[in-house]
Amino acid sequence: VTTTAWAAAGAGAFGMLVLALLVRWRTRRSLVRRLSSVGARLDGGQAGGGGSLDDAITRLERAAEVSGEQSYELRARVGRLALALDVLQQGVMICDEDGEIRYRNAPAEAFTGGRHGEAIAHQATSEALSTALAGQPVSRGVDLFGPPRRNLRLSAFPLHDEHRTIGAVVVVEDISEGRRLEAVRRDFVANVSHELKTPVGALALLAETLADEEDQAVTQRLSRRMQIEAARVGRIIEDLLDLSRLEAEESPVREPVTLHLIVAEAVEEVRPSAEQRSIELHVASISGRLQVLGDRRQLVSAVFNLLENAVKYSERGASIEIECETNGREVAVSVCDHGIGVPTTDLERIFERFYRVDRSRGRDTGGTGLGLAIVRHVATNHGGRIDVDSREGEGSTFTLRLPAPGGLVALPPTG
Ligand SMILES: Nc1ncnc2c1ncn2[C@@H]1O[C@H](COP(=O)(O)OP(=O)(O)O)[C@@H](O)[C@H]1O
Ligand SMILES: [Mg+2]
C-alpha cells in the first residue's frame, strides 16, 4: 500500500511539475512575442513571430536607443523653431483641430493678458483662428484704443496635412508706427499746400489789382505787399529745404565748434529785428573753452530760431537773456524771454511742423511754424534735445542741450 501510494504521489507531483513548466514555457513564449512586437512597433519594422527572449530584448534595446535619438532630435527641432519664432516681432499662435491653443511665441503673450485692449486682441485672434479652422483664411485690422493706441493686423491660415485640417495659425503684427508715419506724411503734404496757398493766392490777387491800377501811390503799396507775400513764400520754402536737408543728412559734419562763436553769429543775425523792436539782447559771458562737436551751420540756425522766437513773442522794449553752461556731461544754451509765453496745453505740440499757438497771429508775425521743428531736428541730429519751460503771460526759456565733447564718443543714429 505504502509503495503504491508513494508511486501515485510521485506521478502526481511529476504531472504538476510538467504542467507548471508547460505554463511557464507558454507564458515565456507569449512574453517573447509581446516584447518583439513592442520592439517592432518602436523601430517601425515587421513583427517577427519567433526568436529567443535574448533576441527580443536586443531588438527592444536597439529600438529604444533609436527612438531616444529621434525624440531628442525632435525636441531640438521644436526648441529651435520656438526660439526662432520668439525672435520675430509678430505674434504667432497655433491651435489644434479643436481650436485649443497649442503654441504662442513670446510677442503673442502680450495679446493674451487681461487688460482691455489685450482682451479685444485676444477675442479677435480667437475668432480669426476659428474662421481659419473652418477653412477660410483671414486678413483683418484691429484697432486698440489704448492708451497707447495701437493698430494690429491679423492674418490667419488653416493648416492642412495631406488628409485633413490639423490646426490653424494666426500672425499678429503691430502696424501702429507705419500708420502714424503715413498720417504724419499726409498731414505734412496737406499743411504745406495750405501754407503756400494763402500767400500765392494773395500774390495773384495783388498782381491782378496792380494791372488795372494807375495811381502811383497805390501801385507802390501793392508792390510792397507783393514783396511781403513773396518773401513769405520764400521763407516757407527755405525752411522746408532746411528741414529736408536735416533729415537727409546721414552723417552730419562733426567738428569741434566753440559755443560763444555760435551764439555770437546767431545774435548778429537776429540783431536787426531785435533793434527794430527796441529789444535788448543780454549774452552772459561765455567761457571761450566751451565746445561741442557738430555742424556749425546747423547749430547757428537752431540758436537763431530760438532767438527769433524770443524777439517775435516779446513786447517792444523787452529784454532777452542768453546763457551757456555745462555740467561736464552736457552743454546747455538757454534763451530766456519775458514775452507772451506758451499755454501749457500747447507746450507739447509747438515742436511739430507748422504748429502755431495762434494761427492768425502767426500770419502777422510772419512765422512759418517750422522754426522749432528745425531746432528739435538739429538737437536730435547732435545727440541732444530741446527743453522748454514757459508760463503764459510771463515768458519762456528754451534750452538746447548737447552732449559735451568728452561724452560724445558714440552718437546715436540721426533720425
Ligand atoms: N519764445 C516764445 N514765446 C512764446 N511762444 C513761442 C515762443 N517760441 C515759440 N512759440 C510758439 O510756438 C510756435 C511754433 O514756433 P516756431 O516753430 O518757431 O514757428 P513760428 O514760425 O510761428 O515762430 C509759435 O507759433 C508760437 O506760438
Ligand atoms: Mg519761429
| Span from the CA of 356 to the centroid of ligand 1 (angstroms) | 6
Q: Whose CA is nearest to atom 24 of ligand 1?
A: 356
> Which pLDDT does position 300 carry in this prediction?
95
| The pLDDT value given to residue 140 | 94
Whose alpha carbon is nearest atom 13 of ligand 1? Answer: 356
Q: How far apart are CA 383 and CA 369, in angstroms?
A: 23
Q: What is the DSSP letter of 149?
A: P
Q: What is the pLDDT of residue 368?
A: 85
Query: 200 CA to middle of ligand 2, Å?
Result: 21
CA distances from 242 to 182, 195, 209, 302, 378 (A): 22, 16, 34, 11, 10
What ligand 1 atom has the least distance to the C-alpha of 362?
22
Query: How far, in Å, CA of 261 to CA of 333, rounded?
Result: 12
Q: What is the distance in A from the centroid of ligand 1 to the CA of 348?
A: 12
Q: Which residues line ligand 1 (CB under 6 A)?
A: 305, 309-310, 313, 337, 339-342, 350, 355-357, 362, 367-373, 396
- The predicted pLDDT at position 5 comes to 85
Q: Which residues have their alpha-adjacent CB atom under 5 A from ion ligand 2? A: 309, 367, 371
How close is the Cα of 58 to the center of ligand 1, in Å?
88
- For 175-225, what is each residue's pLDDT tens digit? 999 998 898 889 889 989 988 998 999 999 999 999 988 999 999 999 999
Q: Which residues of the chain have pLDDT under 50?
A: 407-415
CA distance 318 to 34: 103
